[in-house]
Amino acid sequence: MSTTKTSTRIAVGLIAFLMVVSTIGLYVVMILGNKNSTEEAALAEKYQADLNAKVSERQDKEKKQAAELSAKYYEEFKAYKDEAKSFNAAAVTELKTRDLKTGDGTEVTKEFKDYSMYYIGWLPDEKVFDSSFEGESLKLPLPGSGSYITGWNEGVIGMKVGGVREITMPADKGYGASGQGEKGKDGYIPPNTPLRFIVMAIPKVADIPFPKGTMALCLKAYESSAAQYNMTAQSICEMMGYQNEEK
């Protein structure tokens, strides 16, 4: 839950940016074909194809990791689905937390590390706007981070790994007067809406780096087109996270 908005509706700003940049990648060949030589376009196409293959390789590993974690935690976290009930929006004037299960692992501090989290988020009318559930399984958990919305960042402090906590936050610690998303679409959060979450802290999930050479391929793929977006190939590739590759 990014303060500008991750995911999740939780980090949606960054994800939206990455989606845009990915789209740029898909059409880079067409752009180059219009502005540069056929030879340059063909070369960019090769770099892009090789880059896509490396990205797909990492995605396959992430899917496997998600499945393994889901097999371990799904049944436990599923039990908390019924906690997503309606609540009195007018009564939510401050951040409140309630531990549903006390963990016995590492405590979550302001350093926001050494843990990952599954979550369910819902509105006062009990409509779930986002969660870690994907059908009968769980998505990859969120990483421990201080980059989510204020209510989330403050609400998880003091939890311990293995614990489950309910967090209720007023709108000004959530998505504020702007709300989130588009009315009528999944994930929509109306302006000035208090929110409630259930989060489960689990041991930190190992990050899966991109295959070696991903960054170099990205730089080559965007070398000729990045300037059209007032960016450098380096900045585009770093925003995609490609510098996090195998050593």
The CATH code of the domain that includes 120 is: 3.10.50.40
**Residue at 13 is within a domain:** no
**Residue at 139 is within a domain:** yes
Task: Look up residue 107 and give its amino acid.
Answer: E
Is residue 118 within 8 A of residue 76, CB to CB? The reply is no
36 HSE (CA, 13 A, CB side): 16
**Residue at 168 is within a domain:** yes
Is residue 245 within 8 A of residue 237, CB to CB? The reply is no
What are 237's two structure tokens?
Answer: 């590739």
Number of folded domains that form the chain: 1
Q: How far is CA 235 from CA 5, 79, 165, 219, 238, in A?
A: 20, 43, 37, 9, 5
pLDDT value at position 22? 47
pLDDT value at position 37? 67
Residue matched to tokens 């900045």: 235
What are 20's two structure tokens?
Answer: 């845009």
Burial track 131-146 (b if 16+ CB lie within 10 A, e otherwise)? bbbeeeebbbbbbbbe
198 HSE (CA, 13 A, CB side): 22
What gap in Å lies between CA 190 and CA 113, rounded to an integer?
31
**Residue at 15 is within a domain:** no
What gap in Å lies between CA 237 and CA 36, rounded to an integer?
21
**Residue at 135 is within a domain:** yes
**Residue at 69 is within a domain:** no
Three-state DSSP state, 76:
helix
Q: Using 50 as the pLDDT threshold, list the residues of the chain that sit under it.
A: 2-33
DSSP-H helix ranges across 99-226: 150-155, 214-222
pLDDT value at position 32? 44
Three-state DSSP state, 39:
helix
Helix (H) or strand (E) holding 166: strand 164-169
**Residue at 35 is within a domain:** no
Is residue 88 within 8 A of residue 194, CB to CB? The reply is no
- Domain span at residue 171? 85-203
What gap in Å lies between CA 178 and CA 180, rounded to an integer?
6
What gap in Å lies between CA 18 and CA 169, rounded to an integer?
28
What predicted TM-score, i.e. pTM, was given to this entire model?
A: 0.80
Q: pLDDT digit string (tens) for 152-172? A: 999 999 999 999 999 999 999
Three-state DSSP state, 160:
strand
Task: Look up residue 206 and give its amino acid.
Answer: A
**Residue at 71 is within a domain:** no
